[in-house]
Structure 1
């Protein structure tokens, strides 16, 4: 009896040795803390932020917070909306340290293999962007000089560089076994264009993290993409033209047709229109058609833009902005956006613009 009481007394004094810590501890030092202002730890789930903890910093800026984690999840530590650091919390305690490479003087996570994965991909992406900027300088110079051979060479080099970068990123993601970092990392690639990869990744996580909320999100996203994947039948569009006559996508079957989502108010769309006009004039006689789907709200603006930009192909709209029936079906979140549909009614390519559109049409029609 006495022996047991002594053991209990010892445990009461040495709680750290006898009690298991519940949760993950986040610690660090924040420079120049603000008095009477709250720091927030926020959960990122379903594209929403939920504050799960908030605290004020001492003048020293030193902090340590323990968060109960029921499953590996994405979080962020928000210092007064000035410095926001993304985190993955799983089992390991982490520290936030100064990020020497951040021009905004922010912080990064130390002690997390999950975040190390993300930083690895960030470096790959940054290197690719630097190389792209260098090529862009060459491109502008060649275009100003009218050097078509140089332009073609630069386009070819860019596509090879992009293909190599995408391959590196996909390879790295596939090696992130059991880490939800692999799900977050899909933001580093064109998810829709990489449907086959995304499908394989979803199957992988269904085996490795079958009960994760993030796996469910990934699987749901892939299933939504499947309906609009290259090779899938293009969903029907049936909308009125400016005269009120219903025009359907299926009426173009037997030809290559590009669905062009645009709007009079969309400056990038209007800037791209001269190139689309040029492509239509070059390939219409060979079997190329366009179905313009406007996301305008006002008919007057829509009709005026059609005349100004000399868009002579079929145009339709229900004037419902991004709530347009067609925009909802084709999951359009930004414009310009395009889908190229083959003679058999199946999706051939997505979001072709400028040189990429020209190259694809040249490949098809010669």
Structure 2
């Protein structure tokens, strides 16, 4: 009996030691010199960017660090001195093991904790989707070069089917894992893909657990969704006023037509300049029917001359405004511009009816609205 009590006591002690280990990170990496610094970062709530929270070093191809316990999961990263890229994982109060590959950090294996198991499943799915699309694109290139339009169209349809199935898979994960951190990552990916209406993503976000919404990524996603909703299709475009090339102020309401394009661009933006001839053609064709354009430039401070020269060189004979504050331009921030070119198409009431169309798609939409 006494022996049983002793064994039971040892079992309790062992369990207690395991629980005290908490958030513990260990890993292996081959081909890295001893003393190489390893940086552990996570998303900071203040900056919403990765911030280093601890460091360790590689010794004999191994590294480990005992980290402060987390009240909630967070998107985290491991980086090594002299090695490009990083390893993405989710911090948990668990022992997390990393098998890192020097030549491909993104292919490293992560184990430990239910959140990282879910992350592994999601990343495996993404790799398979990307593999299928990459393979299909190579086949499309061959079909295009062979002028096989029938096969090309079939491959296009197959790619769309892959994308549709991917979206179905994501929504299934979201429905089954409303308390999993990976659901936040999926919603953020869907938002950045710009194929799912913001309102639909907001509804899926509201179905997540309150604990998830209180994480750093959860709060950041909610904030981003609110910003994107302001300029979502179906909402009235936010009013703004900004300096014109001659120094006066122009408001959006003063520049409206039957159809209005707000075109975010810059003299330094090569894709913008490449699209300008098409926009000029459309403007010249439909301006007399009621099409107006307001160009909002994200040119840098002190480079007004480059902005004006680009307007002249490209023949952009419509309204132009800019604060010359690069990505900090107040109008760009109001419209949550993350990349350019970016366009918003407004109807005569100032409601956003479409966005980010190019080439023939842009002209077709303008013609539909004016007719």
Q: Deviations over 1:37-62 (max 9, x none)?
A: 22122222343233333222222x13
Tell me how many residue pairs correspond in the alignment.
Answer: 355
User: Aligned match of 1:115 in 112, 119, 130?
Assistant: 119
Given the two structures, how large is their TM-score scaled by the length of structure 1? Answer: 0.82
- Structure 1, unaligned stretches of length 5 or more? none
C-alpha displacement of 1:249: 1.4
Q: Is the 8 A contact 1:27 1:95 kept in 2?
A: yes
Q: Is the 8 A contact 2:343 2:355 kept in 1?
A: yes
Tell me the residue number matched to 2:33: 34
What aligned pairs does 1:158-237 form with structure 2 within 5 A after superposition? 160-161=160-161, 164=164, 167-168=167-168, 170-175=170-175, 176-191=177-192, 194-207=197-210, 209-237=212-240
Q: Is the 8 A contact 2:259 2:370 kept in 1?
A: no
- Structure 2, unaligned stretches of length 5 or more? none
C-alpha displacement of 1:85: 0.8
C-alpha displacement of 1:99: 6.4
C-alpha displacement of 1:98: 5.4
C-alpha displacement of 1:321: 2.3
Q: Partners of 2:322 and 2:123 in 1: how far apart?
A: 43
Q: Partners of 1:210 and 1:318 in 2: how far apart?
A: 35
Q: Partners of 1:56 and 1:316 in 2: how far apart?
A: 51
Q: Partners of 2:331 and 2:310 in 1: how far apart?
A: 20
Tell me the residue number matched to 1:302: 307
SS in structure 2 opposite 1:343?
Answer: coil
What aligned pairs does 1:143-154 form with structure 2 within 5 A after superposition? none
Given the two structures, how large is their TM-score scaled by the length of structure 2? Answer: 0.81
Q: Partners of 1:347 and 1:216 in 2: how far apart?
A: 26
User: Aligned match of 1:16 in 4, 14, 17?
Assistant: 14
Q: Is the 8 A contact 2:40 2:55 kept in 1?
A: yes
Tell me the residue number matched to 1:97: 99
Q: Partners of 1:344 and 1:166 in 2: how far apart?
A: 36
Q: Partners of 1:159 and 1:343 in 2: how far apart?
A: 36
Q: State yes or no: 1:62 paired with 2:59.
A: no
SS in structure 2 opposite 1:301?
Answer: helix
Q: State yes or no: 1:358 paired with 2:363.
A: yes
SS in structure 2 opposite 1:333?
Answer: coil
What aligned pairs does 1:331-342 form with structure 2 within 5 A after superposition? 331-342=336-347
Q: State yes or no: 1:80 paired with 2:78.
A: no
Q: Partners of 1:321 and 1:134 in 2: how far apart?
A: 37
